[in-house]
Chains A and B, each alone.
Chain A
Amino acid sequence: MTALIIILCVILISIVLVQIGKVTELTAQIKGEREVLRDSSRWNSVLSIVFVVVFLLAVSISAWKYKNYMLGFGPHAAASAHGNTLDNMFLVTTIITGIVFFLTHIALFFFAYKYRWQENRKAKFLAHDNRLEIWWTVIPAIVMTFLVVRGLNAWNTVMADIMSSDEDYMEIEATGQQFAWIIRYPGPDGKLGARDFRLTTAGNSLGQDFTDRKNWDDPIISQEFYLPVGKKVRVRITAKDVLHNFYLPQFRVKMDAVPGMPTYFVFTPIKTTAEYRQELRKYPEYNEPYDPADPNGPKRWEKFEYELACAELCGKGHYSMRRILKVVSQEEYDAWLATQTSFYLDQVRGSEDDPNKGKVLDIEVPLRAKEFSDNVTKAIESSTAADKTLPLAHVMYETGSAKLATDSRYELDNLVTAMNTYPKMVVQVAGHTDNTGDAAANQALSQQRAAAVVQYLTERGISSSRLRAIGYGDTKPLAANDTEENRMKNRRTEFTIVSQ
């Protein structure tokens, strides 16, 4: 129905317009060609003047009204060290082009008005004027040279990479995929680990190569990512599937993310999120409620966040690739970074994707030592008898023998340390097996394995009077011996603090 009415309206308007056309044609015929020209000249020359006045006023007024949108002014001030240079260039260019814009528009429409058709006017025969033409070739050329020199200066400074490795900077990585950003930090070693797209799995979305130890400590940031204020940061920008663009509007940072070819952008944040909010607070539009439905809720400036966006069309979700960036003081940054844990150790270690499965990584040794000593301390402080028994989870033997596997030494050394820390502590080491095979043989093997541990400890200077070895065979299973997983649980070595 609505469609019908719209169609009818269009038809009606068309008929009216055609009639207007016909009427004007008829009056033109009656008036004669000259009269029509004179009319047209009068009307349109006046309209030219009206247009240019209204247009230039509208341009000026709207520019004033939206001055807060302008770069370098008000709330849209740059939050990065290089941003001000760019904003300044934008301003200079706008002033120069603005002058040209005003002068040429005034000339164009004023001449059209002034030299409107008149019956007795004769146009000048003015084919060219070399002097004038040289002027208006040379002057634009000079102005352009000025802008080019300034522009290239700024460009080459901004785009310069880290010059030397001893420069103080940090590197993070942003990877675009349909339709989200994956942000990776280098971890305590300060270096991002290697990647190979062929290693990508559901559990390893960046295709990190975990045989590269630089990857072992890299956290992948799941929520907001943080940067310390005043510290130069190099963003390594990559893409997994299609082109994306790493765009931080407030920092004047923009660079395409290209699959298979990392790009870089180096910048220094100079305003923390909190400082930027305080600046926004000065502007009335940022004192509006953040949520119009909740007029008493927080103001816009209070909820302000730096946002990472995508600025290269990447498919139907292009408009939704938002991540929040928080710029904070170095101390806050360090505190935040400490809460970010290694993606590898948290999510991948020991899983199918882990190429180091079954190996002890040197970075794990100190972590395990700490965990072990914490557990011993806890056991000593506890008064419950059950808490006094602790597993030697990382002590392993060669299959079917009591020979200690090489990697067992790390945990055993931790026990040595604990024995030295608590010189009065006496422990009983117990060996356990599952129920496969002959019970007597199991009993003997568990006994031998416990003895092997005790032997290792005595070789490292622990008095044998403080150590006992006992084999339980398959008599004390932790779980029913019905699955391989459970049997593995049952094959174990433990120690119990007998006295302390």
Chain B
Amino acid sequence: MSIIMTISISQTLTTYIFTLDHKVIARQFLITGIFWAFMGAAMSIIFRLQLGFPEADMGWLRPILGKWIMVDAAGIGKLDPEFYYALVTMHGTILVFFVLTAGLSGTFSNLLIPLQIGARDMASPLLNAFSYWFFFLAGVTMFLSLFLSTGPFSGGWTAYPPLSAVPAASDGSGAGMTMWIIAMAMFVVSALLGGINYITTVLNMRTKGMGLWRMPLTIWAFFITAIIGVLSFPVLLSGVLLLVFDRGMGTSFYLNELVVGGQIMDRVGGSPILYQHLFWFLGHPEVYIIILPAMGIVSEVLSVHARKPIFGYRAMVFSILAIAFLSFIVWAHHMFMSGVNPFISNFFVIFTLIIAVPSAVKVFNWISTIYGSNFRFTSASLFALGFVSMFISGGLTGIHLGNSAIDIQMHDTYFVVAHFHIVMGVAAFFGMFAGIYQWFPKMFGRFMNETLGKIHFWGTLVGAYMVFWPMHYIGIAGVPRRYYSLDNFDSFKHFVGLNQFITVAAILVFFLQILFIINFFYSIFAGRKMTVKNPWGATTLEWTTPINPGHGNWPGKIPTVQRWAYDYSKGDEEFIPQIVPLGKDEHDHGEGH
């Protein structure tokens, strides 16, 4: 009996925990990502309460937050400013790295690369598993830092020194920052192991007939994303490493002429701006690491549900390539007002605004994909539609901010907060949701509930705009971001109404995401079962696998690819899968362009 138990436990462990199967690893990334998304969102609700209702009693949070709620003489509980900044910092770090990088790219690159290119698994399933476990450990470390008596790191997700380098400058810059660094180092290892694997797999393990120009746009997006990640994450790691030296070994890479709290520090010769260059050399490509996979997913989902080929397949690929290239030469647009030579900014303005061109091409191509289609409204396709809307709304304000002259006023105001939340926060989430609703059947053999999915979509679309749109107005009025309280300034304190509105909308959106989480976990166990292999009528290879594919994906031989991925409504067929050979007079629209 006990032997059987042991075997079954060890089987469970190898199947679901220490697995090498890319599909299970994808699910691990996804569920871990959902956990972090919940944490990050909950944190944002707490600091939004502070911003929207600064007078309100937060004493009810004492059971969770303990000493971080300061109770005054009148018995009113207030959020400690130090912890407010810790929440803001953790929210940013978690959402950018743990959710929208690992949760998005980790999930769908893992799930779809082998399935859509016709491979049995990743090039190195072991490294792939390591990739997840390093991410997991990074998460555990970051999570534990929340319980430090000095609090987690509180100097902003960008961790600019000297604030992040000098423990005397901020409580969170002590042990909190040390744990932040350890977590981020492990995260970078995870991203690199994953990225190298994705690149190798795409380059070497495509099935017969799967030329580069026959790859679905999802694969193109994951592939280019992985290349960006492999080229830029090491720079962050080196930047953080120098920070470690400055913190622990008395070096002065980033430190110069400091007097902190009246104490003269024996550090000269470094430059805090050097860190900013190294950070944003990852930091800017990072936003494309986040948005490109979402773009790939949206292209695929839109095309499948429009029953129409993606418009301008090659233009879509070239614009991904152009965006990826440009993403490496625009980083200093985050630093226009940081004291870098204003002359240098000229180049960064030019390259930044050039990005608008491939981005515009992508938007027009998505809209053209819907034009003349037979558009099926599913939760997935609705989120893809919402993605395009968000990408337009948030992308256009990038044209304001990329122009350094306007950035003088807009830099570090709520206008920036509105911009990046819409364009890479909400939009990337929408891409992720589209992907989850679309490939949930492939992951779990069941469907998510469509009615709840649609409530989730419409509520989140409206709610997200209610949260972030008013921030444009607050930002234009000059209110700086990262203010615990706006009451000290006559210029900033008259936005109580808008701030309350935003907070209420944020709470609404938060509850809608709980609806999603309920739908997600309920559907894993009790969702409608998948009865056919290809429920969406898609052309790509993942839908040729059995309903519950085992490790290795295809029971027999790996299918051969005969055509590009977007033969929808061609001739008399509603769709022609990639495994169907080309007809006599037919030409391939990907390769034979």
Contacts and interface: CB of A to CB of B under 8 A. Distances in A.
Interface of A: 2-3, 10, 14, 17-18, 20-21, 24-25, 28, 36-37, 40-41, 43-45, 47-48, 51, 55, 58-59, 62, 66, 69-71, 76, 85-86, 89-90, 93-94, 96-97, 100-101, 104-105, 107-109, 111-112, 115-118, 121-129, 132-133, 136-137, 140-141, 144, 147-148, 151-152, 154-156, 158-159, 177-178, 197-198, 200, 202, 207, 240-243, 245, 247, 249-250, 252-256, 258-261, 263, 285, 300, 303-305, 307, 309-320, 322
25 contacts: A3-B60, A21-B451, A28-B528, A66-B473, A66-B476, A69-B474, A69-B476, A97-B397, A108-B370, A115-B373, A117-B374, A123-B306, A133-B361, A137-B361, A144-B356, A147-B399, A155-B404, A178-B260, A178-B261, A243-B160, A258-B271, A260-B256, A260-B270, A261-B256, A322-B489
A126 B518 contact: no
Interface of B: 60, 63, 81-82, 85, 154-156, 160, 162-163, 166, 169-171, 255-262, 264, 268, 270-273, 306-309, 311-315, 337-339, 342-343, 345-346, 349-350, 353-354, 356-357, 360-361, 363-368, 370-378, 382, 385, 388-389, 392-393, 396-397, 399-400, 403-406, 408-413, 449-452, 454, 458, 461-462, 465, 469-470, 473-474, 476-478, 480, 482-486, 488-492, 494, 514-515, 518-519, 522, 528, 566, 568-571, 589
B337 A260 contact: no
Consensus secondary structure, chain A interface: helix
Q: Which of A43, A305, A314 lies at the interface centre, i.e. has the most chain B CB atoms within 10 A of its CB? A: A314
A89 B154 contact: no
A126 B393 contact: no
Nearest to A37: B376
Contact of B156 (A112, A313, A317): A313
Contact of B163 (A71, A154, A242): A242
Nearest to A67: B473
The 9 closest A-B pairs by CB, nearest first: A260-B256, A249-B478, A44-B377, A159-B342, A260-B257, A151-B403, A124-B372, A97-B396, A24-B451
Nearest to A144: B353
B371 A111 contact: yes
A197 B364 contact: no
Contacts of A36: 450
Contact of A151 (B308, B315, B349): B349
Contact of B364 (A136, A247, A261): A136
Given A40-B378, A148-B403, A71 B451 contact: no
Contacts of B388: 108
A200 B265 CA distance: 11
B449 A21 contact: yes
B405 A89 contact: yes
Contacts of B361: 133, 136-137, 140
B151 to A, nearest CB: 10
Contacts of A96: 399
Given A62-B470, A126-B309, A45 B385 contact: no
Given A259-B257, A303-B490, A115 B371 contact: yes
Contacts of A247: 412, 480
Given A144-B356, A155-B404, A258 B483 contact: no
A101 B515 contact: no
Nearest to B308: A123
A117 B349 contact: no
Nearest to A76: B477
A313 B163 contact: yes
Contacts of B171: 316
Contacts of B477: 66, 69, 76
A115 B374 contact: yes
B258 A128 contact: no
Given A115-B374, A316-B81, 10 more contacts: A18-B522, A86-B405, A104-B364, A124-B373, A125-B308, A156-B342, A253-B408, A260-B255, A316-B82, A320-B488
Contacts of A253: 408
Contact of A155 (B162, B349, B411): B349
A211 to B, nearest CB: 18
Contacts of A47: 458
A473 to B, nearest CB: 48
Contacts of A152: 346, 349-350, 404-405
B473 A117 contact: no
A11 to B, nearest CB: 10
A191 to B, nearest CB: 21
Contact of A117 (B356, B360, B377, B406): B377
A344 B328 CA distance: 50
Contacts of B371: 107, 111, 115, 126
Given A125-B309, A152-B346, A319-B488, A62 B473 contact: yes
B339 A256 contact: yes
A10 B518 CA distance: 11
A62 B466 CA distance: 11
B169 A116 contact: no
Nearest to B315: A133
Q: Which of A21, A44, A124, A303 lies at the interface centre, i.e. has the most chain B CB atoms within 10 A of its CB? A: A21
Contacts of A158: 405, 408
A202 B357 contact: no
Given A122-B374, A303-B490, A319-B81, A254 B473 contact: no
B318 to A, nearest CB: 10
B404 A101 contact: no
A118 B37 CA distance: 37
B449 A313 contact: no
A116 B490 contact: no
Nearest to A73: B476
A111 B370 contact: yes
A37 B375 CA distance: 10
Contacts of A256: 337-339
A3 B61 CA distance: 10
B363 to A, nearest CB: 6
A69 B477 CA distance: 5
Nearest to A66: B473
Given A101-B392, A252-B408, A122 B569 contact: yes
Nearest to A48: B385
B398 to A, nearest CB: 9
A144 B354 contact: yes
B489 A101 contact: no
B405 A44 contact: no
Nearest to A178: B169
Given A125-B309, A241-B260, A311 B490 contact: no
Contacts of A28: 450, 528
B375 A117 contact: yes
B170 A112 contact: no
Contact of A313 (B255, B365, B482, B519): B482
B491 A250 contact: yes
Contacts of B492: 309
Contact of A148 (B154, B353, B389, B474): B353
A307 to B, nearest CB: 5
Q: Which of B169, B259, B342, B473 lies at the interface centre, i.e. has the most chain A CB atoms within 10 A of its CB? A: B259
Contact of A309 (B343, B476, B489): B489
Contact of B372 (A17, A115, A250): A115
Nearest to B160: A243
Contacts of B270: 260
B68 to A, nearest CB: 12
A423 to B, nearest CB: 57
Contacts of A128: 311-315
A132 B364 CA distance: 10
Contacts of B452: 17, 20-21
Contacts of A14: 514, 518
